Amino acid sequence: MAFEAKLSHTAAMILQAIHAGYVYGFSIMEMTGLPSGTVYPAMRRLERDDLIHSHWEDQAIADAEQRPPRKYYKLTAAGRTTLAASRKRYPLLERLIPAEEANSV
Amino acid sequence: MSSFLSRGFHILGCNVLRASSIVVPAGQRAEWLREWHSELWHVRRECLSDDSFDGEAERQVLAFCLGSLADAACVRRHARTSGVASPALHGSAPQCLLRLATVLAICAVIARLLPGVQSEFESARYHVRPGLLLIQDARSDNSSIPTITPAQFRDWRNTRQRSFDGFAFYRILRDTTFFSGARPMPWSVAHATPNLFLLLGFPAQTAAPGNDLPAVLLSHRAWVRDFRSDPRVAGRILRLAHTTARIAAVLPEGPWRLPGNPDAWLLEPSSQIAAASPTAPGYLIAHLSEFGKAEMPGPSVTITVHGPDESDIDLAGISICPDPENPWGTFSFALFLALLALPAVTSVTLSESNFSSHRPGLKRRIARWLFLAAKLVLIAAIGWWASLDLAYAGIDVSSQWAPFVQLVAGFVICLFSFRWALADQQQRCPVCLRRVTHPARVGLASRTFLGWNGTEMMCLGGHTLLHVPSLPTSWFGAPRWLYLDHSWDFLFANNPAA
């Protein structure tokens, strides 16, 4: 697959973080320790390459919690395939961001 | 106090986001800002506490906001790389005119910044008085060498003349110049009689303000070099060797190309000039009377005068006439030559050949011709400014090469740009004036005998197809338009250009 060879460690970390349930920019920043100037552009590239897609949270939910709505990110099918390939390339990826940690955030 | 600081940081963060959003393409800006403002709200809630000001946390939030600039740049890059030119704009007539106007504006701005071009324009504003002669010894071959003594000038001025109605004299000396705020500088100073500039026809005031001191007129070169083009230089006091003088004006460059090329012109009474060095030669400028003009036509005349010892002295009078070459005249000639040469480099046939009797409406045909006229006008204007830029970019304004460079540059630019304009016009859809695109080769000349072969191009709006023969024949020599009827509409249904 074309993206497997090109995916950087940063992009793979972000994919893994989204897969692990860190579904908005700031949570990904906190989980990966990457600055905003790295995380958001990387997410734009992943979205451009159809590895993730975004959607706005329902306004009613945000209003109920008295906060602005967030933009959530989710892996696409291609993103999941690419992440599986990236895990082979970066074996520590899963240990860096285990899936169960997302529930505690 | 802490809430005041916290509020200040919040405003700063919001402004950083707003400033970064300028980089984001307008169509995506609102959503981009919405996401970042939302994230900022959550970041502030996570990092900051309500009760006290935390400088480190505020710094982190600000660093988060600064990251938006990298994101905005990324969004901009994606829009640029992924964005195919909008079909509605692709090759359109306004786009073409906008590009030409941009080139024109760039050329005009460059011309405004080039001192050579400015000097040429400046000199065009002034006109040298007709009938002026530079008189010198006929034995001198070089007009830049002074040959007339102050005594000769005085004799001529004091004698009743039929052929001349005014004389002025000047002499070049190397004077050390002092003025406040600068080191003493050796200047080439022309010590001239007070009527010199009146004789030349210089319209500005040549008397120093206040009349208490002799007037000095700076050359444009010295004004730029030593006074850094200070517009308030008039009225300042200079000391030229032993003479204190007040600056009266700055002479524009160009129009009065008198020999000597001094840095300044000091206007002194003629008696003072003669007294300073009675035998040192200078330059004599004379103005022909009506009688003299009739008697002495032509650019140079020979004058014989009787000396005090009854001997004859031969003098030569050289006309000080303005340079007959002016930039506009040179460019007009280049434009004329380019128009003459145009049929030799391209086909100027703009008649429309098509497969059917269908013709676009009158409004569209007028728009097509207006578009061509606008292109040609813009190209001519570009040729004018670009040729000026090239001619006067690095060449001294008084160089004889400048008009030649302008002529060649103007000719080449106009000729090939007009050629492009006509070729471009022939490849524009007569209906929407958009350039036809997607060329497709049809047939091969080596394989088809009587069948048509050539290139087919289409209008993105779905109005026409253009067939260009690869080998012009007696039955298919010129490109032909095929107007598409409504049965083709479904092919272009999703095209915004249609």
Helix (H, G, I), strand (E, B) or coil at B246: strand
Length of chain B: 498
Nearest residue to B346 via CA among B417, B409, B407: B417
HSE, CB side, 13 Å, CA atoms: give it for residue B74: 19
Of residues A6 and B347, the one with the higher pLDDT is: B347
How far is the C-alpha of B473 from the C-alpha of B451, rounded, in Å?
Answer: 11
Confidence of residue B280 (pLDDT cuts 50, 70, 90): confident
Q: How far apart are the first and last CA of chain B?
A: 61
- Cβ of B67 and A67 within 8 Å? no
Highest averaged pLDDT of the listed ranges B124-128, B253-257, B479-483: B479-483
Nearest residue to A71 via CA among A18, A20, A2, A32: A18
Of A30, A36, A70, the CB nearest to B38: A70
How far is the C-alpha of B77 from the C-alpha of A51, rounded, in Å?
Answer: 19
The backbone torsions φ and ψ at residue B458, rounded to the nearest 5 degrees and listed phi first, read -125, 155
How far is the C-alpha of B200 from the C-alpha of B254, rounded, in Å?
Answer: 13
Confidence of residue B177 (pLDDT cuts 50, 70, 90): confident
What amino acid is encoded at B29 in this protein? Answer: R
Partners of B37 on chain A (C-beta within 8 Å) are 68
Q: How far apart are the first and last CA of chain A?
A: 33
Please give the average per-residue pLDDT across A33-41, as a whole number.
91
Confidence of residue B83 (pLDDT cuts 50, 70, 90): low
Residues A39/A14, Cβ–Cβ less than 8 Å: yes
**pLDDT value at B259 more than 90:** no
Nearest residue to B460 via CA among B82, B85, B96: B85
Hey, what are A30's tokens?
């906190």
Residues B106/B288, Cβ–Cβ less than 8 Å: no
Please give the average per-residue pLDDT across B214-241, as a whole number.
83
**pLDDT value at B123 more than 60:** yes
C-beta atoms surrounding B288 within 10 Å: 23
Q: Note whether B38 contacts A: Cβ–Cβ < 8 A.
A: yes
How far is the C-alpha of B115 from the C-alpha of B107, rounded, in Å?
Answer: 14
Of B41, B66, B78, the CB nearest to A44: B78
User: What residues have CB less than 8 Å from B90, skipping those under 6 apart?
Assistant: B434, B435, B437, B460, B497
Beta bridge partners of B176: B186
**pLDDT value at B72 more than 60:** yes
In a mutational test of the A interface, the residue from B16, B20, B35, B69 whose CB has the highest number of chain A CBs within 10 Å is B35
How far is the C-alpha of A38 from the C-alpha of B68, rounded, in Å?
Answer: 9
HSE, CB side, 13 Å, CA atoms: give it for residue B417: 23
Residue B102 is predicted with a pLDDT of 94
- Cβ of A36 and B46 within 8 Å? no
Of residues B253 and B483, the one with the higher pLDDT is: B483
Residue A104 is predicted with a pLDDT of 43
Q: Note whether A55 contacts B: Cβ–Cβ < 8 A.
A: no
Of residues B462 and B65, the one with the higher pLDDT is: B65
**pLDDT value at B301 more than 70:** yes
Helix (H, G, I), strand (E, B) or coil at A22: coil
Confidence of residue B89 (pLDDT cuts 50, 70, 90): low
The pLDDT tens digits of the residues spanning B11-51 come to 888 899 999 998 888 788 888 999 999 999 888 888 877 66
Residue B416 is predicted with a pLDDT of 93
Calculate the CA B459 to chain-centre distance. Answer: 37
Confidence of residue B309 (pLDDT cuts 50, 70, 90): low
Residue B399 is predicted with a pLDDT of 64
How far is the C-alpha of B378 from the C-alpha of B380, rounded, in Å?
Answer: 5
- Cβ of A37 and B78 within 8 Å? no
Of B38, B39, B74, the CB nearest to A44: B74
Nearest CA in chain B to A25: B39
Q: Note whether A35 contacts B: Cβ–Cβ < 8 A.
A: yes
Q: What is the DSSP code string of B322-382?
A: --S--HHHHHHHHHHHHHHHHHHHS-------BSSS----HHHHHHHHHHHHHHHHHHHHH
Residue A41 is predicted with a pLDDT of 92
Of residues B238 and B298, the one with the higher pLDDT is: B238
Please give the average per-residue pLDDT across B339-363, as a whole number.
75
B32 burial via Cβ count (<10 Å: 0-12, 13-18, 19+): buried
Residue B357 is predicted with a pLDDT of 65
Nearest residue to B190 via CA among B169, B166, B220: B169
User: What residues have CB less than 8 Å from B399, skipping those under 6 apart?
Assistant: none
Chain A: closest CA distance from residue B10 (Å): 16
ipTM of the complex: 0.89
**pLDDT value at B76 more than 90:** no
Beta bridge partners of B301: B317
Confidence of residue B377 (pLDDT cuts 50, 70, 90): very high
Partners of A67 on chain B (C-beta within 8 Å) are 41-42, 45
Of B35, B45, B71, the CB nearest to A71: B35
Nearest CA in chain B to A73: B35
B354 burial via Cβ count (<10 Å: 0-12, 13-18, 19+): middle
Q: What is the DSSP code string of A28-96?
A: HHHHH---HHHHHHHHHHHHHTTSEEEEEPPHHHHHHTTS---EEEEE-HHHHHHHHHHHHHSTTHHHH
**How many inter-chain contacts (A to B, CB under 8 Å) are there?**
62
Angle at which helix A25-32 crosses helix B26-47, to 10 degrees, equals: 60
Q: Which CATH class is domain A2-90?
A: mainly alpha
Of residues A26 and B125, the one with the higher pLDDT is: A26
Please give the average per-residue pLDDT across B308-313, as a whole number.
70
**pLDDT value at B137 more than 50:** yes
Residues A68/A62, Cβ–Cβ less than 8 Å: yes
Hey, what are B195's tokens?
């009527």
**pLDDT value at B378 more than 90:** yes
- Cβ of A48 and B82 within 8 Å? yes
Residue B346 is predicted with a pLDDT of 78
- In percent, the amount of chain B with pLDDT more than 90 equals 15
- In percent, the amount of chain B with pLDDT more than 70 equals 83
Of residues A13 and B6, the one with the higher pLDDT is: A13
Please give the average per-residue pLDDT across B193-216, as a whole number.
74
Q: Note whether B279 contacts A: Cβ–Cβ < 8 A.
A: no
Please give the average per-residue pLDDT across B372-399, as a whole number.
85
Strands B264-267 and B185-192: parallel
Residue B103: which H helix or E strand, with range?
Answer: helix B93-113
- Cβ of B67 and A48 within 8 Å? no
Length of chain A: 105
**pLDDT value at B323 more than 60:** no
Calculate the CA B357 to chain-centre distance. Answer: 47
Q: Note whether B83 contacts A: Cβ–Cβ < 8 A.
A: no
- Cβ of B78 and A45 within 8 Å? yes
- Cβ of A37 and B69 within 8 Å? yes
Calculate the CA B384 to chain-centre distance. Answer: 8
C-beta atoms surrounding B154 within 10 Å: 17
Highest averaged pLDDT of the listed ranges B27-36, B169-178, B278-287: B27-36
Nearest CA in chain A to B61: A36
Residue A102 is predicted with a pLDDT of 47
Residue A105 is predicted with a pLDDT of 41
Confidence of residue B308 (pLDDT cuts 50, 70, 90): low
Of B39, B46, B71, the CB nearest to A41: B71
Residue B82 is predicted with a pLDDT of 63
Radius of gyration of chain A (CA): 14
**pLDDT value at A51 more than 70:** yes
- Cβ of A40 and B69 within 8 Å? no
Partners of A39 on chain B (C-beta within 8 Å) are 67
Beta bridge partners of B265: B190, B217
- DSSP single-letter state for residue A102: G
Hey, what are A61's tokens?
């939910």
- Cβ of B71 and A37 within 8 Å? yes
In a mutational test of the A interface, the residue from B24, B34, B38 whose CB has the highest number of chain A CBs within 10 Å is B38
Residues A4/A85, Cβ–Cβ less than 8 Å: yes
Q: For chain A, give every domain's residue range.
A: 2-90
Alpha-carbon distances of B395 from B115, B225, B233, B252, B398, rounded to whole Å: 10, 17, 27, 17, 8
- Cβ of A70 and B43 within 8 Å? no
Residue A1 is predicted with a pLDDT of 43
- DSSP single-letter state for residue B73: H
Partners of B67 on chain A (C-beta within 8 Å) are 35-40
Chain B: closest CA distance from residue A52 (Å): 16
* CB-based contacts of B473-476 (< 8 A; 24+ apart in sequence): B476/B452
The backbone torsions φ and ψ at residue A24, rounded to the nearest 5 degrees and listed phi first, read -135, 160
Chain A: closest CA distance from residue B337 (Å): 54
How far is the C-alpha of B273 from the C-alpha of B280, rounded, in Å?
Answer: 10
Residue B418 is predicted with a pLDDT of 93
- Cβ of B42 and A44 within 8 Å? no
Please give the average per-residue pLDDT across B437-459, as a whole number.
77
Please give the average per-residue pLDDT across A54-79, as a whole number.
90
Chain A: closest CA distance from residue B67 (Å): 4
Residue A2 is predicted with a pLDDT of 43
Highest averaged pLDDT of the listed ranges A53-67, B240-254, B277-291: A53-67
